[in-house]
Structure 1
Amino acid sequence: MSMRRYLLHIGYCGSMLRGVQKQREEHEALFVSVGGLVEKGLKRLRPESIEQLYFSSRTDTGVHAVCNTAHVDLSCQGEGLCYEPSTVTNTLNRFFKKINAEIRVHKTTLVPSTFHARYDAVSRKYLYRLAVTPEPASSARAVLEQFMPVAEIGKLYLVRPPFDAERLESVCRLLEGVHDFASFANVQSKGSIPRETLREIKSITVTPGQPLLDPTLDPLYSKLQFWDVTVHGKSFLYRQVRRTVGVLVGVAQRCLNLEDVQHLLDHPSQRNWNSKATVAPPDGLFLLDVEYPPHVFAEEGDDSGQSPQE
């Protein structure tokens, strides 16, 4: 029996998926997470065994990925290479297309047995898409009904004015670098935050954004001002990016100021979260890329594994 390790580069729309992590209640007839669906697709290869999938980033329900990564060990009878990387890619994509799952494998790469998708990653880049409405609405539901273009449903966070983007430059610079981000850490299901809450944010930028469709195709686009928040770092605490966006929105709306953000950093504690800041919803969050150092692939070849024609 031979076993090889594969690295999957996976994109997905998270609106109808229950995050990356396979749910305990999932069973053979119901796979609703990215991990559960990938495992079921891999079984179509009929391997002798499938070791547990290890994702680089455990995105939540509703969060999207342009490119997330995961490694998996596949074993089969005989020696040598049992599955070409392109076979893995094509088999999975045929399966996702058949079941109408909004998941695609961009490519599959052979990696050494010592490679780990999570721990070997040197950086992750996230994009958060938001748009400002032209006028306040009476409620959050009214915001969606009055201003949300249909193509943006589940992929955009609508915020109400005022929104002063010029106030965000100093906040972004303050959050960059190494800090104890315990104040930005959300309690996980097990009821605790990580013991180690020091993280480094390499960069945060807030720039004018773009709609997903030509704005002339939907009159609602003319009523929105789009902004992109890009956050780059090695790793992040649970919901840290969404809380960071929530703080930025709070500052732009003049609910928070620079001193409030400094207080979150100077007094790192989950109990120190500012009640004036709203945690941004998952809808606008996209994992853009996971970066690895070249040397971790040195022992194996690379096969892009083209997807079948659709």
Structure 2
Amino acid sequence: MCSHRYFLYFAYIGKSFRGSQRQINRNLSKIDDPLSIQGRLEMGLKLLNPTNEPIVIMSSRTDAGVNAFGSTCHVDLIRNNEIGFDPPTITLCLNKYFEREDVPIRILKTYNVPETFHCRYNALSRTYLYRLMIAPANAENLNIHYRYIPIEEWRRCLFFCTDTFDIEKMREGAKLFEGYHDFRTFMGKNKQPGYKLTRREVEYITIKKIERPGYSSYSWPPFTKTEDYLFLDVYMKSKGFLYRQVRRTVAALIALARSKIEVRDIKLMLEVPSRYSWYPQIKILPAYGLYLCEVEYGKDDLDTFRTELPLST
């Protein structure tokens, strides 16, 4: 029987999951894993009744609690009649399953792709976003009014109050991370055995000041001075990232902007790559403010997606 490879774009809210990667041993693939993104995708694909056990290959690994606007994966499926599944049918089946089970995953698009395509190895880059919402702490008569956060933003961004935040200093520090460096200092504790290569090339870090989120006017009580709030989107792009590299990098930039560390301290952490170079004044950021925005592919791959392969063998 002939297998067909399918490529899926999808989004998710990570709060309900222990991570994107399947947590149960691959040798036990027939056992469902509802607490990972990969596991839930495989559970949904079984509803199509393929003759093989669906094994989803993820393009990117995200930690527990991390979200995604546009992640990708691929999977090989076999049918008895050797005719592939219609891609929109896969999208519809999975989204119905996620809706019925109240699972915060949504398939955005499904494509037929050649069997030579690999969602992880063909990826050119990955772009992440960390969202910040900052309230003033030096206003007259400081009270809870200045600490208000819209309920829509609760555990969707990092919210804090401060009387010291220098965005230009933050941007200055961000430039130091761009280019090819050894980011061992900015890697979380490696749980995998053996030596880990920690050199990566960061294409850019962009810090964008944005207007307040476009929620209903009722999200902001009349007593709240929204113009005093600072909303920042921090984007990082690279071919690949180390474990917790994005969260630790943004944490260092926030510490710099709040004058808890200096530019020379970031230079030292990059020039002396070691977990012992990490400054204890830097607080690691929570996962819920982090979003995988895009997994980028080359023009040849995109042309294949747009063309879509015929279903018949």
Give the TM-score normalised by the residue count of structure 1.
Answer: 0.88
Pick from 125, 128, 137 the counterpart of residue 123 of structure 1: 125
Separation of aligned partners in 1, 2:40 and 2:54: 15
Task: Report the identity percentage.
Answer: 35
Report the equivalent of 1:283: 288
Report the equivalent of 1:14: 14
Distance verdict in 2 for CA 1:298–1:156, change over 3 Å: closer
Cα deviation 1:100-149 (Å, max 9, x = unaligned) = 1111000011111121111110011111101112118xxxxx99x94332
Separation of aligned partners in 1, 2:49 and 2:193: 38
2:121 is paired with a residue of what secondary structure? coil
Report the equivalent of 1:236: 241
Separation of aligned partners in 2, 1:82 and 1:215: 45
Report the equivalent of 1:114: 116
Report the equivalent of 1:166: 168
Q: CA RMSD in A?
A: 2.7
Aligned positions of 1:171-190 closer than 5 A: 171-190=173-192
Structure 2: gaps spanning 5 or more residues: none
Shifted more, 196-205 versus 111-120: the winner is 111-120
Report the equivalent of 1:83: 85
Cα deviation 1:216-264 (Å, max 9, x = unaligned) = 3223656632111011111100110000110110000001111000001
How many angstroms does 1:28 deviate by? 5.7
Task: Tell me whether 1:219 sits opposite 2:220 in the alignment.
Answer: yes
Q: Is the 8 A contact 1:50 1:73 kept in 2?
A: no
Task: Tell me whether 1:2 sits opposite 2:2 in the alignment.
Answer: yes
Report the equivalent of 2:71: 68
Report the equivalent of 1:203: 204
Distance verdict in 2 for CA 1:228–1:236, change over 3 Å: same
Cα deviation 1:55-88 (Å, max 9, x = unaligned) = 1111111111000001111112233x32011111
How many angstroms does 1:50 deviate by? 3.1
Separation of aligned partners in 2, 1:30 and 1:39: 9
2:97 is paired with a residue of what secondary structure? helix
Report the equivalent of 1:258: 263
Q: Is the 8 A contact 1:109 1:302 kept in 2?
A: no
How many angstroms does 1:215 deviate by? 6.5
1:229 is paired with a residue of what secondary structure? strand
2:98 is paired with a residue of what secondary structure? helix
**What amino acid is aligned across from residue 62 of structure 2 in structure 1?**
T
Shifted more, 159-168 versus 211-220: the winner is 211-220
How many angstroms does 1:17 deviate by? 2.1
Q: Is the 8 A contact 1:207 1:227 kept in 2?
A: yes
Separation of aligned partners in 2, 1:37 and 1:234: 26
1:114 is paired with a residue of what secondary structure? coil
Separation of aligned partners in 2, 1:188 and 1:64: 21
Give the TM-score normalised by the residue count of structure 2.
Answer: 0.87
Pick from 290, 299, 302 the counterpart of residue 294 of structure 1: 299
**What amino acid is aligned across from residue 84 of structure 2 in structure 1?**
C
Separation of aligned partners in 2, 1:15 and 1:64: 8
